[in-house]
């Protein structure tokens, strides 16, 4: 059987549950545009995206609590009527709600300021993220699990770290993303307010989804902090936030 040649403008093949597929997805560069995340290899500005959010990242603040993260799966449909030959294939997009990106109120005393929570059992489970500059590291993401009940009246935090998933480290003007095995898997950079993630290694769908969702959470935090700094600068309190 002859397979059609790959087209950079076409999305990956559709599957019923992309997160369950073990096939390795090749490296790619992703770019955030508004609420959509596109492949930089696409030659068509209107080509379908890979992922989407239900809020535009630039407008998210530290007071926002929930963002829906969806992967765009695709189906190829052919329509033919009567004795007519099969028509040109039509690609239809099917957004699949994969994660809720959550920022719980600080008063709850959670172990992690951000969580990535799957809406189904597929994937890598719940992910917790922390932001702290320790050496070159600026952000870490862990697979997390619920703590065993202790019987105390107030039990915080609800989750505890089970294994390091990603470690984000500064490297001059870019940020290197390492996995739990200390392999560099992606490079993050931005130019002229265009945010890009260059994925360097093949990975399965579940890991790719977790990486991109973690990148989105990091952008949410970075942009919210930047907005807060601009606001406090206008109010005459730049020193309190260590402006660089």
**69 within 8 A of 57, measured Cβ to Cβ:** no
pTM to 2 decimals?
A: 0.79
As a residue count, the chain comes to 244
Q: Quickly list DSSP for 89-141.
A: PEEEEEEEEEEEEE---GGG--S-SEEEEESSS-SS--EEEEEEEETTEEEEE
pLDDT tens readout for residues 186-241: 999 999 889 999 999 999 999 999 999 999 999 999 998 887 666 554 544 433 33
Least confident of 41-45, 163-167, 221-225: 41-45
**Cβ atoms within 10 Å, residue 171:** 12
Q: Is the Cβ–Cβ distance between 39 and 27 less than 8 Å?
A: no
What pLDDT, on a 0 to 100 scale, did the predictor assign at position 23? 82
Nearest to 50 by CA among 214, 213, 193: 213
């Amino acid at each position: 059987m002859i397979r059609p040649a790959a087209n950079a403008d076409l999305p990956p093949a559709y599957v019923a549950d992309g997160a369950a597929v073990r096939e390795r997805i090749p490296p790619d560069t992703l770019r955030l545009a508004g609420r959509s995340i596109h492949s930089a290899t696409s030659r068509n500005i209107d080509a379908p995206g890979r992922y989407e959010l239900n809020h535009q990242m630039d407008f998210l603040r530290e007071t926002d609590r929930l963002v829906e993260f969806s992967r765009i799966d695709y189906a190829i449909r052919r329509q033919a009527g009567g004795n007519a030959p099969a028509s040109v294939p039509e690609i239809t997009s099917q957004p699949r709600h994969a994660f809720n990106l959550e920022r719980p109120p600080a008063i709850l005393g959670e172990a992690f300021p951000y969580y990535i929570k799957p809406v189904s059992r597929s994937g890598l489970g719940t992910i917790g993220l922390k932001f702290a500059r320790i050496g070159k590291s600026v952000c870490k993401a862990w697979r997390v699990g619920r703590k065993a009940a202790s019987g105390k009246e107030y039990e915080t935090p609800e989750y505890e770290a089970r294994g390091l998933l990603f470690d984000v480290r500064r490297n001059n003007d870019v940020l290197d993303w390492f996995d739990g095995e200390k392999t560099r898997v992606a490079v993050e950079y931005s130019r002229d307010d265009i945010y890009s993630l260059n994925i360097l290694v093949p990975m399965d769908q579940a890991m790719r989804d977790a990486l991109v969702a973690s990148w989105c959470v990091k952008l949410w935090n970075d942009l919210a902090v930047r907005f807060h700094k601009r606001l406090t600068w206008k109010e005459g309190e730049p020193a309190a936030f260590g402006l660089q």
